[in-house]
Structure 1
Amino acid sequence: MLKLKVAETSLEKEQAFDVRRRVFTDEQGVSPDIEFDEWDKTAVHFIGYNLQQPIAAGRLRIIEQGIGKAERICVLPEFRGHGIGAMMMTEAEEYARTQKLHIVRLNAQVHALPFYENLGYTTVSEEFLSAGIPHKTMEKTL
């Protein structure tokens, strides 16, 4: 049974951070000093559960009036390919609408560009490196 929600408690936030650590630090080799930053204190965090097991995470923060930035969207490897990432993005977009945001921006790893394009995001930047990984900035008007 899949459940996606805003991480409201300390435990839920820690579970979201653990999923991020497993995906970005352990799997992709991103330094914890880069993965966990000052924005974690103020961002809205999302957590996805399969039954009671945390399997997906992400965060959204307001970066300008009307613009939110989706970040750190991830799904544990054994749960990929089942639409959970798309559901996490829908959850973040729905939350963004409640905050009167009209654009969601994100920095997508280049290999994930088709995933985000299928969700209606458009590339708005040239390729750049973040944590040593090629990215492009994408946006979607809500």
Structure 2
Amino acid sequence: MLIQTEKDMFKVENGQWSQLQLQQDAKFIRELVFIQEQNIPEQDEWDDQDPVSQHFVVYDQDRAIATARLLPDHHLGRVAVLPEYRGQGIGRLIMLDMIAYAKSQNHPLLQLSAQTHATSFYEKLGFTVQGDEYDECGIPHIEMMMPIIK
């Protein structure tokens, strides 16, 4: 998916963890956002779900600027945008691309564990809160869900 802004064109690519460039780009963003900025312990960031997930990376020309992943069980997560690109619609771009991909793969729904400060962002995309707030790696989270309608 491409989005044209006044001066840039952002491109979303998706693929498997085995694609080394995609993996390196996703790791770079996740390390900056989750490990360095949000102080998530490294052992909590990397898990056995990466090799079985579909990964999405947004590029500003050749620079990786955002990432997310979609697990086989319909959960999406690890949504991260580099700080200098926040507030420009990049998070929405990657989410819309993931939703379109999920529809094309006949996923019946999408689920995510949202950091509570981002709840309204996901609600605007069609997700609804499911359950109560909980702590994950020292950050308040809440489960959210969206049915996929073809």
Equivalences for 1:1-142 in 2 at 5 Å? 1-8=9-16, 9-63=19-73, 68-142=74-148
**1:33 & 1:96 partners in 2: Cα distance?**
28
Instruction: Measure, in 2, the Cα distance between the counterparts of 1:95 and 1:85.
Output: 15
Unaligned runs of 5+ in 2: 1-8
Equivalent residues of 1:5, 1:91 under 8 A apart? no
- Unmatched tracts of structure 1, length 5 or more: none
How much has 1:14 moved relative to structure 2?
Answer: 1.2
- The AA in structure 1 aligned to 2:88 is H
Q: Percent identity?
A: 36
- Superposition misfits of 4+ residues, deviation over 2 angstroms: none
3-state secondary structure, aligned to 2:87: coil
TM-score by length of 1: 0.94
Report the Cα offset of residue 58 of structure 1.
0.5
Q: Give the Cα separation in 1 of the matches to 2:25 and 2:137.
A: 22
TM-score normalised to structure 2 length: 0.89
CA–CA separation in structure 2 for the residues paired with 1:6 and 1:50: 15
Q: CA RMSD in A?
A: 0.9
CA distance in 2, matches of 1:18, 1:73: 13
Equivalent pairs, count:
138
Query: Shift in Å at residue 7 of structure 1?
Result: 3.4
